[in-house]
């Protein structure tokens, strides 16, 4: 391993805008358990599954349909 590296001719990562950003979400226990169970079945980490699901929703422009119960 070199003591010093020359980065003067380095190029900016063209895929940097596609990287992930860490956020904090408050998810229901039932949601976490669902994705953890799915994770065990698929072998894909549950956080990746949640990201893939949300990514699919975003790409397909899926809209959430809410029906509020009247009091």
Round to whole Å and give the CA distance between 69 and 71: 6
Round to whole Å and give the CA distance between 23 and 19: 13
Query: What is the tens place of the pLDDT at every residue in 51-69?
Result: 999 999 999 999 988 888 8
Round to whole Å and give the CA distance between 35 and 12: 35
- Exposed / middle / buried, residue 11 (Cβ in 10 Å: 0-12, 13-18, 19+): exposed
Query: What is the tens place of the pLDDT at every residue in 12-54?
Result: 888 877 788 889 999 999 999 999 999 999 999 999 999 999 9
pLDDT of residue 71: 66
pTM of the model as a whole: 0.67
């Amino acid at each position: 391993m070199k003591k010093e590296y020359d980065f003067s001719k380095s190029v900016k990562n063209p895929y940097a805008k596609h990287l992930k950003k860490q956020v904090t979400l408050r998810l229901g226990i039932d949601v976490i358990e669902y994705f953890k169970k799915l994770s065990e079945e698929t072998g894909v980490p549950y956080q990746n599954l949640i990201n893939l699901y949300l990514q699919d929703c975003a790409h397909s422009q899926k809209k959430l349909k809410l029906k509020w119960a009247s009091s």
